[in-house]
Amino acid sequence: MSKNHKYKGWFITFEGPEGSGKSTQSQRLCDYLNKNGRDAIMTFEPGGTPIANQIRSVILSRDNVKMTPCCEMFLYAASRAQHVCEVIIPHIEKGGIVICDRFTDSSLAYQAFAREIGYETVGAVQKIATMGIGPDLTIMLDIPTEIGLERTFKKRNPNKIEKSADRMELENLEFHKKVREGYLKLAALEPERIKVIDAEEEPDAIYNKIIAIVEKKIS
Ligand SMILES: Nc1ncnc2c1ncn2[C@@H]1O[C@H](COP(=O)(O)OP(=O)(O)O)[C@@H](O)[C@H]1O
Ligand SMILES: [Mg+2]
């Protein structure tokens, strides 16, 4: 099986718009793998280490509405550089499985496509930030924008929605639609690595599809 790094383990990412079920399904996959005797860890971006979590708060703070697309791109990349070295590489190096909720495809969908920085530029920055490693498999949960956003805000206390939304979630519908389109362009460019799943289905149906795809990849 082809790998996107030189290490023994596996690196699997979850991608998709807000509310597509990434956090739900990545946790379920991690539990499944550990129950079946694999050494899997679950992590997320932006964040995943103390330093990266501090960068995360800068990125997502609603106070930072003046942040430029370029600054945003580099902050995500800075957080990723720390996360890759501190968490991802050490675990795949010892043969484990890393499951990561968002990774480079998020930067491409959000900053390259939706913020319109461009695929080449954002792609070049990813090469530096990741030390050249990439996911072996990416589960892309695709959902119509309105449904994803509705799910995102429904899980919060309805009285606190306005206060709890982060800087990215607060972007307008048009922005989030460009994110979804960006993701679908990425999937079309790399069909071997990126598997698109219809995230409108029931959680159990989605889970079963993910298990089948992952088992085929790693066994
Ligand atoms: N397949 C699904 N159908 C309906 N609701 C879902 C589904 N998957 C997740 N949810 C719910 O939608 C909300 C967002 O899911 P979450 O996993 O946090 O998405 P993400 O991490 O992609 O933003 C949560 O309240 C979750 O329980
Ligand atoms: Mg999530």
What was the pLDDT predicted at 157? 67
What residue segments make up the domains of the chain, in order of their start?
A: 10-218
What was the pLDDT predicted at 159? 65
Its pTM stands at 0.96
Task: Verify whether ligand 1 is closer than 6 Å to residue 182 (CB atom).
Answer: no
What was the pLDDT predicted at 97? 98
Task: Verify whether ligand 1 is closer than 6 Å to residue 132 (CB atom).
Answer: no
Residue for token digits 């992952």? 214
For 27-57, the pLDDT digits (tens) are 999 999 999 999 999 999 999 999 999 999 9
Instruction: Return the higher-pLDDT residue of 153 and 114.
Output: 114
The secondary structure of the chain, three-state, reads CCCCCCCCCEEEEEECCCCCCHHHHHHHHHHHHHHCCCCEEEEECCCCCHHHHHHHHHHHCCCCCCCCHHHHHHHHHHHHHHHHHHHHHHHHHCCCEEEEECCHHHHHHHHHHHCCCCHHHHHHHHHHHCCCCCCCEEEEEECCHHHHHHHHHHCCCHHHHHHHCCCCCCCCHHHHHHHHHHHHHHHHHCCCCEEEEECCCCHHHHHHHHHHHHHHHHC
Q: Which two tokens stand for residue 44?
A: 């997320």
Average pLDDT, integer, range 66-79: 98
What was the pLDDT predicted at 154? 83
Task: Give the ligand whose atoms come closest to the C-alpha of residue 19.
Answer: 1
- Interval between CA 163 and ligand 1 midpoint (Å): 20
What was the pLDDT predicted at 162? 60
- Interval between CA 207 and ligand 1 midpoint (Å): 12
Q: Which atom of ligand 1 is nearest to the CA of 141?
A: 22
Average pLDDT, integer, range 155-173: 78
> Candidates 1.10.3720.10, 3.40.50.300, 3.50.50.60, 3.10.580.10; correct CATH number of 10-218?
3.40.50.300
Mutation test of ligand 1: which of 106, 151, 168, 179 has the most ligand atoms closer than 8 Å to its C-beta? 151
Nearest CA to ligand 1 atom 5: 151
- Interval between CA 128 and ligand 1 midpoint (Å): 32
Average pLDDT, integer, range 180-207: 98
Nearest CA to ligand 1 atom 12: 151
The overall average pLDDT reported for the chain is: 95
For 75-113, the pLDDT digits (tens) are 999 999 999 999 999 999 999 999 999 999 999 999 999
What was the pLDDT predicted at 218? 96
Q: Which atom of ligand 1 is nearest to the CA of 201?
A: 1
pLDDT category at 181 given cuts 50, 70, 90 is very high
Q: Which atom of ligand 1 is nearest to the CA of 24?
A: 17
For 114-150, the pLDDT digits (tens) are 999 999 999 999 999 999 999 999 999 999 999 999 9
